[in-house]
Structure 1
Amino acid sequence: MNKYEQAIEILKKYKQNRVLIELENNKNEELIKQVLSINFQQIENIKTKIEEEKQKKFANDTIEKIECIDGNKLSSEEKREYEDIGNKVIKEEKYAVVTMAGGQRNKAWT
């Protein structure tokens, strides 16, 4: 099997269709060298490890429906409570999502 055929087989194996098309159209020697120099298996292993870590990290996370809160109607104490909750979430490196209706000149209250 020559280098061109080896490169084609590697690209097919790792589903690199755009590069495969480019190589089949041009048979570019430089591209063949680049394809043969890449350790696709190592890239696949890294990708798999990243996906596994993501699954572990977010395995217990849930998305929950929340009630609508009008910041203008909250007391100073309630605002402070929500701010404390938000600060805690940030310190623990968790995420919080705030959804506001658009087009109503929403301003974040502090």
Structure 2
Amino acid sequence: MIEAAESLNPENTRIIVDSSSNVPAAWQAQYRMLEVPTLVNFGVESFRNNVDLSAAAFYTRFAAHPDDVPTTSQPPPAFFADAYRRAFDEGADHVIVVTITRKLSG
């Protein structure tokens, strides 16, 4: 495994994270990361984290409706498939995916 890691070239390796990682946008740009959004659910409404719902909008909505406790959900497999396609379309030969552990996921 170490040998495989040593052979990775940053120019053709992409890192994919889910939005629960909260990697700052500047780091994502610097390291050419792709972010797959988790889903945030308020009742029957579902939003893609950091796409349809910013952190500011989340807190504004939660403050306005404190009894409407949000839940989160893992990204659908299609979201990851889209990220893989994008990474390879942009020239990646290798992809490293970092997601939340199942012990922290609901």
Asked which structure has the greater RCO (Cα within 8 Å, sep 6+), the reply is 2
Q: Which has the larger radius of gyration?
A: 1
* TM value normalised by structure 2: 0.26
TM-score w.r.t. the length of structure 1 is 0.25
| Larger strand proportion of the pair | 2
